[in-house]
Chain A
Amino acid sequence: MIAVWDLGVRLFHWLLVAAVGIAAVTGLFGPLNRLSLHVAAGATIGGLLVFRIVWGFAGTTYARFSSFAFPPSAIAAYVKELQAGRHAVYLGHNPLGSVMVFALLAILALNVTTGVIVLGGVDKQGPLAFAVSYETGTTLRAIHQILAYVLLVMIVGHLTGVVHESFRSKAKPVLAMITGEKPDTSVAITANPARAWPAFAGLALLVLLTGAAYEAIALSSRPALGVPTGSLDSTYVKECGSCHMAYPPSLGTSSRWIALMAGLADHFGEDASLEPKLMSSIRAYLINNSAEKWDTRPSHALAESNPGDPLRLTATPFWSRTHRAIPAAVFRSKAVGAKGACNACHGDAFTGRFDPQKIEIPARALQ
């Protein structure tokens, strides 16, 4: 047996499998409140990529990019050999496999990057929350999703290659990625031996990762773009918050607030009339702080109303879509009371942020 994959490569590979698995499951199937796990998986992937790039220059023979950076002509030749049914055996990555490795690294790096932008623009969290608009965030979210599907296809391709390799040759690629060793065959093409520089790699990693972490924390503490700060107007809370949760003005567009305040005598089936003076001061407060002034997800997503019930936030297409999995009994329960009681489950409802991580349906409402 001959040592091929060093410990760094093997650890990288299996940790990456775990992190990508968690990111894929939480991203594709996870409820929104698993966002933190998804973000943690993404950050782990980012860290692993930094390690792998450093190790690509400072690892042992077959960890080094130089051992599997083939010119396009070599790749084309290898594909031709494959089609002809005869091809050379490489101890490390073969030319086609190397294309997959670089493509995987590139697409993972792209999806970590787009993920940070989406997190900043859509969720107003993380290092780019101060800079990215909701619109940019949603555009990048579409790209992030497409890249995730491309990645899944590539993983299938990678697994197909591994299975193919397992049957075609005596090499056991899965076992080799565990033990690091392959059978010593004299016919295999080898690379120029190189020794690892673990001290250099460790130092480089320490500098890069602590620098990135420091920078990420510093940027994350900047005020998020277009997110309301400060508390709600006390008169508004007193007058409007006695029957229902005092909805942050950022949840409604100015046209919605204007229409709402014009119809207080029949306010969703109840008389909620106010003294004219009080009414106009509250109306001014709502308009001055309406959705158009902010850049949060609710301020954008709730703007589209339901033509059949245009003023009700809980009738909007976005609200319906994001709450469709919640049984009607939860809303009727004593602990929640009604669909409009956002704060029963959204711990940050009064801020207007509605972070996915702040959602917790009260246990009593689920019984």
Chain B
Amino acid sequence: MKVCCLSACLVAAACAVAHAGSGDTQKLLDFYANQAKATDSAFGGFSAERGESLFRSNSTGGKPDTPSCTVCHTKDPRNVGQTRAGKDIDPMAVSANPQRYTDQEKAEKWFGRNCRNVLGRECTAREKGDFITFMLTQ
């Protein structure tokens, strides 16, 4: 189990490097990794799997119109999504939209808003890193 998890992490990390092609994304991941380590000494890296389940999960804690990320971003992160106000949302997957996760201020703004929208709370640094790691594999 541990081996499996570790290998998943490694694969994710490898993919991350392969996909990112951008030092900015790595910087952002490092930023979240440092935050995660600071609050959890047992932090052992980000997981695309956990990121995916965060992306797909349904929550009752947030605002009623937005129980899941997929409401607006669709079930496939490579798709163009649509806001509730009818505006297109560029794909979340890095393969479809290389501009994603290259700007820390932007990432913080949208994690801030949308974690509160969907989960009704702030996301942890680990959740944010997991999420980005998943999107790097997509």
Contacts and interface: CB of A to CB of B under 8 A. Distances in A.
A338 B112 contact: no
Interface stretch (A18-26, A217-225, A240-248): A240-248
Interface in B60-119: 63-66, 82-87, 112-114, 116-117
Interface on chain A toward B: helix, strand, loop, or mixed SS?
loop
A361 B66 CA distance: 28
Contacts of B84: 243, 268-270, 338
Interface in A253-295: 265-266, 268-273
A364 interface: no
Contacts of A241: 87
Given A271-B116, A273-B112, A244 B63 contact: no
Interface in B11-68: 63-66
A272 B85 CA distance: 13
A337 B85 contact: yes
Contact of B113 (A244, A272, A341): A272
Contacts of A243: 83-85, 87
A269 B64 contact: yes
**Residue in A241, A266, A269, A336 whose Cβ sees the most chain B Cβ within 10 Å:** A269
Nearest to B106: A242
A244 B86 contact: yes
Contacts of A86: none
B117 to A, nearest CB: 5
A317 interface: no
B86 A271 contact: no
B85 A269 contact: no
A338 B63 contact: no
A340 interface: yes
Interface residues of A, number: 22
Nearest to A239: B109
Given A270-B117, A334-B82, A244 B87 contact: yes
Given A334-B82, A337-B82, A270 B87 contact: no
Nearest to B112: A273
B82 A244 contact: no
A112 interface: no
Given A269-B64, A269-B66, A344 B86 contact: yes
A340 B87 CA distance: 9
Nearest to A278: B109
A62 B87 CA distance: 65
Given A270-B113, A271-B117, A273-B112, A337 B86 contact: yes
Contact of A336 (B64, B86, B114, B117): B86
B63 A341 contact: no
Contact of B87 (A266, A273, A341): A341
B67 to A, nearest CB: 12
A244 B82 CA distance: 10
A266 B86 CA distance: 18
B113 A266 contact: no
A244 B83 contact: yes
A344 B82 CA distance: 13
A242 to B, nearest CB: 7
Contacts of A339: 86
A245 B82 CA distance: 12
B113 A273 contact: yes
A282 to B, nearest CB: 14
Given A272-B113, A338-B83, 13 more contacts: A245-B86, A245-B87, A268-B85, A269-B64, A269-B84, A270-B66, A270-B84, A271-B112, A271-B116, A334-B82, A337-B85, A338-B84, A340-B86
A-B pairs with lowest CB-CB distance, top 7: A337-B86, A244-B85, A341-B86, A338-B86, A269-B65, A271-B116, A271-B113
30 contacts: A243-B83, A243-B84, A243-B87, A244-B85, A244-B86, A245-B87, A269-B63, A269-B64, A269-B65, A270-B63, A270-B65, A270-B84, A270-B117, A271-B112, A271-B114, A271-B116, A271-B117, A273-B112, A273-B113, A331-B86, A336-B86, A337-B85, A337-B87, A338-B83, A338-B84, A338-B85, A340-B85, A340-B86, A341-B86, A344-B86
